[in-house]
Amino acid sequence: MDDYIYLDNAATTKIKKKVLDSMVPHLESNFGNPSSLYSFGQESRNSIEESREKIAKIINCRPNEIIFTSGGTESDNLAIFGSAYAMKEFGNHIITSSIEHHAVLHACEELEKEGFKVDYLPVDKFGLVSPKDLKNAIKPTTILVSIMMANNEIGTIQDMNNLIKVVREKQNSNNNIILFHSDAVQSLGKMEINVKNMDIDLLSFSAHKINGPKGIGGLFIKRGSPMKPMFFGGGQEKQLRSGTENVASIVGFAEALLLADSERGYFNEKCSKLRDQLTNRILKLIPGSFLNGHPTDRLSNIVNISFDGVEGEPILVGLDFAGIYASSGSACSSGSLDPSHVLIATGLNPRLAVGSIRFSFSPSNSEEEIDYVVKELSKIVKNLREMAT
């Protein structure tokens, strides 16, 4: 084993050497501004467009439907704010779910302050949105539905085809436009995503979840979808995201996605085996442990488990001392002492919600590491419970 065991790949991933190698020339020698007209700058422009084409091919869209951003949060914000502002003359109603990433939830909360109406759909105990609930929530004034493809804390995968089908049927019967957005930050590279077949309008994604660089992401915007920019300046990215493009990271993003897509079968096979091994051993060996999320319809590399009678933070500290890195949920909320909004939305008792740990895998993890994690975790939970009595 290495000096540490990294089981927080849903928070971020290690950049692959091949990805880094693809970026270096654009940091060292090919550093021209892609907006410059001379050939040196146009070399950078060509690298951006080649990367755009690679990403578009994998998710089955036109290259000019891809907008590069600084990451998943910006992509979610652009999708929510940009479409809401562009569509407000047609309506002011937005539908999302109660387990979305805060980049979506907080954006919707801000829009509520501006007069937009937002419905936050409930989920069942597994974290699934009901198509019936979605259908009942749609109004003649509904302009946007935003439901994530797979949850970042519990890994539950939504029934996207039926959810989108409901929206399209209501859209046709009401004779109005309803945009469908999905946060696919955790899904990209792990699931097959075909935006054309799915009939989706907006899709957010990020590079650093798939062994790419941090600070780069993208937003698929279906041609013809109303959208207003959030940044203003030089008019880059079809005037929707002004600012000099991050060429090296864009190239790295495309390379990372190509690798992830080609290795997806191996990734899912290896990670699901490790995930199930860890889950089964914890539930068997540690009393008062409970699996969160859907038992089967979930991402291959995420497992979330609650431990009764203890809190997540001291468990993480104990794991850290043992050289094991995991998390208590979303990395963006790691400083919060409140129970996870995702787990509370599934109806989990707050006492159990504060004692939840998320483990997220990569193919570089091993069965030997899982054995060590279970052994150390068992001791940590046992000691914490004894201290609490």
Catalytic positions are: 332
Q: Which residues does 216 contact at the CB level (< 8 Å), separation at least 6?
A: 68, 69, 70, 71, 206, 207, 208, 246, 249, 250, 252, 253
* Secondary structure element (H or E) that encloses residue 258, with its range: helix 247-262
| HSE-CB for 110 with a 13 A CA cutoff | 12
The beta-strand segments (E) located in 153-224 are: 179-183, 202-206, 217-221
Residue identified by tokens 């980049």 is: 103
Long-range own/partner contacts, residues 25-30 (CB < 8 A, 24 or more apart): 26/247, 26/248, 26/251, 27/248, 30/247
Question: What does R_g of the chain's alpha carbons equal in angstroms?
Answer: 21
**Both tokens of residue 180?**
């469908």
Count CB-CB contacts under 10 A for residue 277: 15
Give the torsion through C-alpha atoms of 20, 24, 26, 31, to 10 deg.
Answer: 140
Residue identified by tokens 């036109």 is: 62
Task: List the 179-183 sheet strands across, edge first.
Answer: 66-69, 217-221, 202-206, 179-183, 142-146, 93-97, 117-121
Count CB-CB contacts under 10 A for residue 367: 11
> What's 38's DSSP letter?
S
**295: phi then psi, degrees, rounded to nearest 5:** -70, -25
